[in-house]
Amino acid sequence: MYKVVFPLISLILTAACGTSVPADGLVFDPSSGKEGSIELPTGETVNYTAYEKLYFVTNVEDPTYQYMNVYVPEGATQRTPIFLRTYVGGYMASEAAAPQASDASGRALAEGYVVAIPGSRGRNSKVGETWTGRAPAAILDLKAAIRYLRHFDRQMPGDAERIITDGTSAGGAMSALMGATGNYPDYEPLLDAMGAAKERDDVFASVCFCPIIDLEHADMAYEWLFKDTDSRLAGSEEQQKVSAELAAQFPAYLAGLNLHKPDGTPLTGDNFLDYIKELLIASAQKAKDAGADISADLGFKFNSESRGRFAAPINGGMPQGMNGSNRPMMRMGGGRVGEYIIDLDMPTYLNYVVSTQPLKGVPSFDSKGVLGSRASGENEEFGDAAGKAVNFTEYSASLTGESLTEEIQRNVFLMNPMNFVGNSKATNAPHWYVRHGARDRDTAFPVPVVFATKLQNAGLEDVDFLLAWNRPHSGDYALDEVFDWIRQITSR
């Protein structure tokens, strides 16, 4: 699928598109910087030097996307960490951009970090009649950008040994892939064909918001979690059949991963829902401790409730102020709600999640041709350069009669960060910050939980994971916390 596009062709394309693409090697001109500034929501102005249109491969196939912009704030040195933000969303192509005042890129500049924003091809990018960005093009472009930063590390301010990647959703998947796949040999011939720099491509840290990953297991995880929700039970008989068949596949997948909780307990289909419940309770408790109003209507049970106005004790028997909070107890429906969440009714909570946004269809990812469904973005992502969308799971392919060619299977493998965590042929980032909203239904909780658990089990330096309270499918939030974490990992 990946055609090597020779310099001559790229020159023709280049001429057509009016860009200047070097045909004779990668280029960085330190004198090409332009001064600019950005004003943050706080009113603070950050001055920077911008290096734009840095083509990170020599065989440029798609000149709209295969370059990067780099922004160096005043005061940055060779030792300054590099914050690499990808704007991939929906597995679509993403053009290199300037930092945004309201997201992590602007904040990173204000914190003094060098900011790199690479473009990348995606499922909708096209040159002439050729679809240029089907899997694994996006991660190849991003790895080429990382190699470019290493290649010119001495000429450019910023420390390419301390790259922190960040992205949301499909971009969170890209950030996870950059973090997990460092130097993995299977990407090498593909990167060589593109004319990427011959450099390492491992990174220092990976910040992943709601990563849409593990696509070949995401359908089974989705039905395993949601199949008994009111929404799914209102579906047709055929939908419920497919939902049940997919759900039934998840425990065997989980068992094969050999994961264990931080306390050493092996995770199985029997205890996994309880583990997700523990994580949701921990998240809600953290939010409650910070002042959020956690409603019992969502399925939570508190240490003391509906005991009447003067019931005591209501805070686990501790005097006020000794339980980490000086806040008074909340009242609910005439009763009082204790300081501690002691349980969560998962069916109630899952119905609540679905009430905030309707579920995806059945199947949720590999939908093409199943129960009359159209191709999903993921079906396109794994499709070919002629624009065809394809099935990418054995289950859906078995229903539609499509075959999973070796090429599709290879692409699915290369697009799933799960395959590389703890893999001895990959250099994993030692630092991870992973967030998935506690009411995000774009992929089901098991997907990020399994990923974070795999990272934790791999013995990496730190894995900071949270099902972030009350967050929908979104990213670059709680930036004070994100940048505290980055400061900690970069000042060790």
Among 22, 33, 90, 269, binds ligand DHB (CB under 6 A): 90
CA-to-CA separations, 416 to 126, 261, 400, 420, 426, in angstroms, rounded? 24, 22, 23, 8, 13
Q: Any contact of residue 170 with ligand DHB (CB under 6 A)?
A: yes
Residues 6+ apart with CB under 8 A from 1: 134, 384, 385, 407, 411
**CB of residue 94 to ligand DHB, shortest distance in Å:** 10
Q: Does 448 bind ligand DHB (CB under 6 A)?
A: no
Structure tokens belonging to residue 363: 């199947």
CA 378 to chain CA centroid, nearest Å? 15
Structure tokens at 11: 């020159």
Per CB under 6 A, 132 contacts ligand DHB: no
CB 309, min distance to ligand DHB, A: 46
* Span 355-414, contacts to ligand DHB by CB under 6 A: 377
Q: Which residue's CB is nearer to ligand DHB, number 299 or number 377?
A: 377
Stretch of 83-91, 155-163, 221-229, 410-418 lying at the interface with ligand DHB (CB under 6 A) = 83-91
**By CB under 6 A, which span of 89-97, 118-126, 156-164, 306-314 interacts with ligand DHB?**
89-97
User: 67 or 91, CB closer to ligand DHB?
Assistant: 91
Instruction: Quote the least distance from Cβ 172 to ligand DHB, whole Å.
Output: 8
- From the number of C-beta atoms within 10 Å of its C-beta (0-12, 13-18, 19+), residue 171 rates as buried
Binding status of residue 221 toward ligand DHB by CB under 6 A: no
At 211, give phi and psi (nearest 5°). Answer: -65, 130
78 contacts 99 by C-beta, under 8 angstroms: no
> Cβ 146 to ligand DHB, closest distance in Å?
21
Question: Is 93 among the residues that bind ligand DHB (CB under 6 A)?
Answer: no
Asked if 174 touches ligand DHB (CB under 6 A), the answer is no
102 or 357: whose CB is closer to ligand DHB? Answer: 357
In the bound complex, which residue of the shown chain has the CB atom lying closest to ligand DHB?
169
Among 212, 259, 284, 359, binds ligand DHB (CB under 6 A): 212
Judged by beta carbon, residue 91 or residue 302, the one nearer ligand DHB is 91
Using CB under 6 A as the binding rule, whether residue 89 contacts ligand DHB is answered as yes
Q: Which residues contact 14 (CB under 8 A, 6 or more apart)?
A: 20, 21, 60, 63
Which segments of 19-100 are extended strands (E)?
A: 34-39, 45-55, 67-73, 81-85
Dig out the tokens for 258 from the structure: 């050999």
Please identify, among the stretches 88-96, 235-243, 267-275, 339-347, the one whose residues bind ligand DHB according to the rule CB under 6 A. Answer: 88-96
Size of the site for ligand DHB (CB under 6 A): 8
What the block records as the tokens of 429 is 């980032």
Q: How far apart are CA 225 and CA 240, in angstroms?
A: 13
Taking the complex as a whole, the smallest distance from the CB of residue 377 to ligand DHB amounts, in Å, to 5
Start-to-end CA distance of the chain, whole Å, equals 43
Q: Which CA distances in Å does 84 have to 97, 182, 191?
A: 12, 15, 19
Residue with tokens 């997700």: 276
Q: Dig out the tokens for 416 from the structure.
A: 């799933």
Let me know: does 143 contact 180? Beta carbons within 8 Å: no
Stretch that binds ligand DHB, among 56-64, 84-92, 291-299, 388-396 (CB under 6 A): 84-92
Interface with ligand DHB by CB under 6 A: which range of 1-9, 86-94, 184-192, 346-354? 86-94
Q: What is the dihedral of CA 183, 185, 189, 195, to 10 degrees?
A: 10
Nearer to ligand DHB, 156 or 170 (CB): 170
Is 169 a binder of ligand DHB (CB under 6 A)? Answer: yes
Q: Which is nearer to ligand DHB, 218 or 284 (CB)?
A: 218
Among 61, 219, 442, 476, binds ligand DHB (CB under 6 A): 442
User: Which residues partner with 466 through β-bridges?
Assistant: 435
Q: Which stretch binds ligand DHB (CB under 6 A): 37-45, 85-93, 108-116, 152-160?
A: 85-93
Counting contacts by CB under 6 A, is residue 122 touching ligand DHB?
A: no
Contacts of 95 (CB under 8 A, 6+ apart): 64, 65, 87, 119
Structural tokens at position 8: 């001559």
Residues making contact with ligand DHB (CB under 6 A):
89-91, 169-170, 212, 377, 442
